[in-house]
Structure 1
Amino acid sequence: MKDAIYLVLDMENDLVHADGPNGRAAYGEQVRSRGILENTRRAVDKARAAGLHIGFVRVGFSPDYRECPPNSPIFSGARKNGIFKLGEWGTEVHPDLGRQPGDFDIVKHRVSPFYSTSLEAILRANGIKRIYCSGISTNAVVQATVRDGHDRDYEMVVLEDACCGLTAEEHDNAIKSLQRFCRITNSQDVVFE
């Protein structure tokens, strides 16, 4: 395996599946109009063919939401709406993305996949130096991953066409702000090395 990983961020049913609560709302509209599932699957297949590690990052909480921060504007709706429950369909990776048993599964309880997860141990144990990433949303998990990874001295690469926000404007603004911290490419042009 190479010293790089492709992290697929929060591409779980509650957020991106057409039958999920967010898939029927604004996120779903962006996922469909931007071809996020197809672009992500293309990138996953290319990364596999290049011998990269693949990691699927999922946000999720115990059924009683014991890890869910009660005062978080971004997570306060999870408990109220009964979403992001670990062990249920909603926190599974979207089936079209081709998850395999050997892929890393990183479960997080906050926006950043680095905070209180197994991610850093996985990266160190596998000698990872470069992190490719994409997911939903650009202005939350993607931005947090890039900034936290950058500050931990990883080379960061974002696949722009496999990311989206609630709106095109949110996505565009997030990508503009990330350009200082990473390289931006897309699922068509990326060369996993």
Structure 2
Amino acid sequence: MPLDVTLDPAEVGLLVIDLQNGFCHPEGSRARAFGADAVAKPRAMVPHALGLVERCRALGIPVWFTRQVHFPGDRGRARRRIPSHLDRRGVKLDLCHQGTWDAELLDEVKEHVRSDDEIIVKHRASGFYNTRLESVLRMSGVQVLVVAGTTTSFCVDSTIRDAYARDFDVIVPAECVADTDDAAHEAVLASTERFHGVVTTADELMAALRPETVRPGTG
């Protein structure tokens, strides 16, 4: 739907989810398990997300990145009695284990991370679950959360829903999120548009921001 509101950049924050080797690199664990096609759409999305990072920075909008980090001996996961989505598919996936290259941000993403940027390390799908994300957003005056990254139907969707439950306004530029499954991707965009926020484009987002409200000294 059109983004027919005026946004003050002082109330906006950008969250970029899990642009990591394990999810997006052709030598990462997802590609090794499912083939290069499994990371094609996430890789194609990365330049759009990074372009959005720079456009937001130019308006003084703060940016946060998340990294999914798994512990190989995670006893919480081991207690589950219902097989995981990977177990049901018979897939062994050592994804983004702590301390591995797989868990690191893509090299091209690291180039856009500033020394004072906060990277939110999470151990479950949502960027809010057992992290300090909500606190830093509140302390930064963020009311409107722009969400980019991967995977649309899991980590992105979980974060969108948690943001909505915490009374943040959610905006999702469609070209800045990606999934390995087109149907799942489109279903999340549809449910977001129906319930949780606005699905738009980066250009429409920029048009809704008023340059005259940019924070002094941050452009």
Which TM-score tier does this pair reach, normalised by the shorter chain?
0.7 to 0.9
* Letter of the structure 2 residue corresponding to residue 190 of structure 1: L
Is 2:153 the counterpart of 1:139?
yes
After TM superposition, give the deviation of residue 133 of structure 1 in Å: 0.5
Corresponding residue SS for 2:124: coil
Q: What code does the residue aligned with 1:84 have? A: C
Q: Which position in structure 2 is the counterpart of 1:108?
A: 122
The answer (yes or no) to whether the contact 2:147–2:173 under 8 Å persists in 1 is yes
Unmatched segments (≥5 aa) in structure 1: none
Q: Answer yes or no: is the 8 Å Cα contact 1:68–1:75 preserved in 2.
A: no
Alpha-carbon distance in 1 for matches of 2:150, 2:178: 5
Preserved CA contact (<8 Å) 1:135 1:163: yes
- For residues 85-104 of structure 1, what are the structure 2 equivalents within 5 Å? 85-97=97-109, 98-104=112-118
Higher relative contact order (CA 8 A, sep 6+): 2
Which residue among 31, 41, 45 is the counterpart of 2:42?
A: 31
Normalised by the length of structure 2, the TM-score is 0.77
State the distance in 2 between where 1:88 and 1:168 align: 29
Name the CA shift for 1:130/1:67 in 2 (closer, same or farther; >3 Å): farther
- Work out whether residues 6 and 47 of structure 1, in 8 Å CA contact, stay in contact via their aligned partners in 2: yes
2:107 corresponds to which letter in structure 1? P
For residue 65 of structure 1, report the CA deviation from its aligned partner: 3.3
| Range with greater deviation from structure 2 (64-73 or 39-48) | 64-73
Q: For residue 113 of structure 1, give the secondary structure of its aligned residue in structure 2.
A: coil
- CA distance, structure 2, for counterparts of residue 108 and residue 18 of structure 1: 23
1:75 positional shift: 7.2
Instruction: Pick the structure with greater CA Rg.
Output: 2
Distance in 1 of aligned mates of 2:174 and 2:53? 14
Q: Kindly tell me the number of residue pairs found equivalent between the two proteins.
A: 189
Contact 2:45 2:175 in 1 (8 A): yes
Match of 1:4 in 2: 12
Following the alignment from structure 2 to structure 1, what is the Cα–Cα distance between the partners of residues 105 and 176? 15
- Separation in structure 1 between the aligned mates of residue 52 and residue 17 of structure 2, nearest angstrom: 13
Q: 1:67–1:4: structure 2 CA closer, same or farther, 3 Å change rule?
A: farther
Q: Which runs of 5+ in 2 are unaligned?
A: 1-8, 210-219
Name the residue aligned to 1:50. Answer: 59
Q: Secondary structure at the match of 1:57?
A: strand
Give me the TM-score of the superposition, normalised by structure 1: 0.87
Q: Do 2:42 and 2:180's aligned partners in 1 also have CA atoms closer than 8 Å?
A: no
- Contact 1:106–1:118 under 8 Å retained in 2: yes
Higher relative helix content: 2
Q: Which of 121, 128, 136 is matched with 1:122 structurally?
A: 136
Query: Mean alpha-carbon deviation: is it higher for 179-188 or for 64-73?
Result: 64-73
User: Which residue identity does 1:94 align to in structure 2?
Assistant: L
Q: Bigger CA drift: 5-14 or 178-187?
A: 178-187
Structure 1 counterpart of 2:168, one-letter code: Y
Name the SS of the counterpart of 1:5 in structure 2.
strand
